[in-house]
Amino acid sequence: MIEIVSVRCILRHPICKNNLKQPHDYAGRIQPATGNTLVHMGEGMAKSSEIIVMEMLEFIQREGGHPKTWYVGVTDDPQGRLFDEHQVHYQNDAWIYRTAASELEAQRVQEYFLEFGLDWRKGALCSGSCKVYAYRKGISTKP
């Protein structure tokens, strides 16, 4: 059973800062005049590739944009990759990450999204990584 809890926060609200530091699955985007929305699903539960593809595809379609405007990756540190390396803004940009049951499951998710048309960087895969992330590329993100 997947529990879906939506947390709406005003900018600088303590729950945003505290939740962002915990090793769970998240998605984020800005909502006009209300602040950030973080979607917290199944606290750290590892998921199958099929469930992750479904959740991420739904998020990507809801947020919009051509598949080439999105980036997908696999890592063991999604927050570091998203917010430090790729310079994704956690309140203003559309991003998501999920924990796969295994490295193979994570790779399957990435392969699906590469076939779907998302961008990626060759050689960016870390051995043993089980977390899949995606974000919509913007003027401040790298790439």
Indicate whether 88 belongs to any domain: yes
Indicate whether 143 belongs to any domain: no
pLDDT 10s digits, 80-123: 999 999 999 989 999 999 999 999 999 999 999 999 999 998 76
User: Picking from 3-7, 26-30, 56-60, 83-87, which range would have the lowest pLDDT averaged per residue?
Assistant: 3-7
User: Picking from 43-47, 51-55, 108-112, which range would have the lowest pLDDT averaged per residue?
Assistant: 43-47
Indicate whether 86 belongs to any domain: yes
Domain carrying residue 37: 4-136
**How many structural domains is the chain composed of?**
1
Indicate whether 69 belongs to any domain: yes
Closest C-alpha among 103, 97, 100, 87 to residue 138: 87
Q: How many angstroms from the chain centroid is the CA of residue 116?
A: 16
Type and span of the H or E element at 71: strand 70-75
Closest C-alpha among 87, 129, 86 to residue 110: 129
Indicate whether 101 belongs to any domain: yes
β-strand 4-9 against 35-41: which pairing, if any? Answer: antiparallel
Indicate whether 87 belongs to any domain: yes
Altogether, the residues listed in the chain come to a count of 143
Indicate whether 141 belongs to any domain: no
Joined tokens for residue 133: 């992330």
Q: Which residues contact 12 (CB under 8 A, 6 or more apart)?
A: none
Q: Output the pTM of the full model.
A: 0.73
Indicate whether 9 belongs to any domain: yes
